Amino acid sequence: MNIFALEIWDDEGKKCTFYTVRWEDGKESQTDKFFNKYDAIPELKTATQQMLSFVLDSLGDDHGAIDALFNRPENEVTGLPNTGKVTVKQVMFTYPNFPLRLYALRINNRNDIVVLFNGGVKSSWTNQESKDIHLKWVEACQFAKRIEEALRDGEIIIDEGKRKMRSANNGEEIFL
C-alpha cells in the first residue's frame, strides 16, 4: 500500500472527532471525494445530505460512535448509516433502502474518534456484488488494517483527553 496521511476531517462535534485518509500525493481526502461526488449527482443529493447530517449531527454532536449506530460491520470497517430501526434517546434512526454507504473505523472504546473513508452507491446485496463500492470497500479495509497495525505498534498514539491522535514523535501529522 502506498503512503497516506491520516488527518482530521472534523473536530468540532461535541461527542466525536472525525479523521480521514488522503493519499500522500492526493489533493482531496477520501471522505471529501465521497461527499463531493455524490452531492453533485441530483438523484443522490438528498441522500448525501442525510449522510452528512448523520455523521456530523447524530454521531459528531448528539451520540458519538455508539454501537447502536455502528451496527453494520463489514470486515475491518463499518458501513454507515446504521441498519434496521434503532432508537437512541427517543430518536429513531432508520434508513430503509438507503442508496449510499460510507465506510468508517472506530478507533477507541470511548466511541469518540472515528476515521471516515470513501464509499459509494449500494446497488447489490453484498459489497462484492456492488460495482460502485466494491473497490472502495476493499481500499477502506486496507486503510483500516494499516491504521490498526500502527496503533498496536505504537506508531499512532491516542490522546484520549483531547479526542485526537498523534504520531509517536508527538506530531499531529500522521503518515502511514
Residue 171 clears pLDDT 80, i.e. is over it? no
Q: pLDDT band for position 71 (50/70/90)?
A: very high
The answer to whether residue 80 scores a pLDDT higher than 70 is: yes
Q: What is the pLDDT of residues 3-25, one digit of tens each?
A: 999 999 999 999 999 999 999 99
Across 64-83, average pLDDT: 94
Render the burial of 5-33: b for 16+ CB within 10 Å, e for the rest: bbbbbbeebebbbbbbbbeeeeeebbbbb
Q: What is the pLDDT of residues 21-39, one digit of tens each?
A: 999 999 999 999 999 999 9
The amino acid at residue 55 is V
Residue 162 burial (C-beta neighbours within 10 Å; 0-12, 13-18, 19+):
exposed
CB-CB contact of 79 with 101 (8 Å): yes
Return the residue matching grid coordinates 438523484.
43
- Integer Cα distance of 151 and 128 in angstroms: 28
* Max CA pair span of the chain: 46
Contact 47, 21 (CB under 8 A): no
Is the pLDDT assigned to residue 124 strictly greater than 80?
no
The pLDDT tens digits of the residues spanning 134-153 come to: 899 999 999 999 999 999 99
Q: What percent of the chain is predicted at pLDDT more than 90?
A: 81
**Could you tell me if 77 and 103 are in contact, meaning their C-beta atoms sit under 8 angstroms apart?**
yes
Phi and psi at residue 140, in whole multiples of 5°?
-60, -40
